[in-house]
Amino acid sequence: MGQLLKVTFLGFVSGLMGTGIGGLMVFLFRKLSNKYLSFLLEFSAGLMMSVVCFELVPESLETGGKVYAFTGIFSGIFAIIAIEAILKKADWIKRAAGDKSLLRTGIMTAIGIALHNFPEGVAVGSGFEASVSLGLTITAVIIIHDIPEGMSMALPMKAGGFSGTRAFLLTLLSGTPMGFGAFLGSLLGGISPEFISMCLGFAAGAMLYIVCAELVPESKKLYLGRFSSLGNVLGIICGIIITILN
């Protein structure tokens, strides 16, 4: 029981640290021009796309096979479409002072990353069940790669009208599913590979839709120049590096 609590606590801490450090960016970048905000949105989009294509989808396919992977992917896409429809009708978003579409994009990105953090937590818990060194390695890598993800959700929420504090707290909240995942991974150890495959696929589908339907279109509304596209390319390259480290 003591080991289970330690792993769960570490899962929560790693989830909060990664996205939280990224969320602190809202206090560093208090006022951004459309050009630089567009660059950062596209950087986040490239990073997320890279993680989807080179990490989540291959891992999902390898873990559970094509049927479970694609079931998860399409489930994730449809779930985010449903959430998007709900957010478009939400009164509290309509009352926001800033850009409504940017605010919605930030919230949807936070949801997608929260979904992504759950299977990552399962990986942490399962890793500690295998060996302490493996668990620590997975935890360190996840913290590093959650930092830009925290930034990708906090900046559009701030630009959309949320205060820096509120945006930061929401980035912290999106990291908590990692603790629940770590608890489940440690508790079950050899958890069903089909379940993990569907979780990974679900997160991949959710993030894929958010990148293509939210982050990139919102970026292009802000700035159409080459600078933002360069951000996308750099994000993809950073995602590849993170995947190699993982």
Packing angle, helices 100-130 and 66-88, rounded to 10:
150
Give the residue-averaged pLDDT of 122-141.
63
Report H helices in the chain. 2-23, 25-28, 34-51, 57-64, 66-88, 91-94, 100-130, 132-159, 164-175, 177-188, 193-210, 216-222, 226-245
What is the pLDDT averaged over residues 122-138?
62
- Taking residues 139-151, what's their average pLDDT? 71
pLDDT digits (tens, 9 = 90+) for 213-234: 877 887 888 788 889 899 899 9
Residues ≥6 apart with Cβ < 8 Å to 241: none
Q: Which residues have a Cβ under 8 Å from the Cβ of 77 and sit 6 or more positions away?
A: 205, 206, 208, 209
Q: Which residue has the higher pLDDT, 181 or 217?
A: 217
10 or 190, which is more confident? Answer: 10
Phi-psi region of 221 (alpha: psi -120 to 50; beta: other; left: phi over 0): alpha
Q: Which of 101-110, 114-123, 168-177 has the lowest mean pLDDT?
A: 114-123
pLDDT interval class at 189 (50, 70, 90) = low
Q: What is the DSSP string of 3-49?
A: HHHHHHHHHHHHHHHHHHHHHTHHHH-SS--HHHHHHHHHHHHHHHH
- Say if residues 149 and 14 touch (Cβ distance below 8 Å): no
Please report the pLDDT score of residue 58 as a whole number.
87
Given phi > 0 = left and psi -120 to 50 = alpha, else beta, which region is 237?
alpha
Residue 246's pLDDT band (boundaries 50, 70, 90)? low
Higher pLDDT, residue 245 or 39: 39
Average confidence (pLDDT) over 8-17: 79
Average pLDDT estimate for 58-75: 89
Q: What is the mean pLDDT of residues 117-121?
A: 73
Grouping H, G, I as helix, E, B as strand and the rest as coil, residue 208 is helix
- pLDDT at 32 > cutoff 70: no
At residue 145 the predicted structure's pLDDT band, cuts being 50, 70 and 90, is low
Is residue 127 pLDDT above 60, yes or no? no
Mean pLDDT computed over every residue of the chain: 77
Under the banding of pLDDT at 50, 70 and 90, the label for residue 57 is confident
pLDDT of the residue at 193: 78
Q: What is the CA radius of gyration of the chain?
A: 17
Predicted confidence band of residue 70 (pLDDT cuts 50, 70, 90): very high
Kindly tell me if the per-residue pLDDT of 54 is higher than 80. Answer: yes
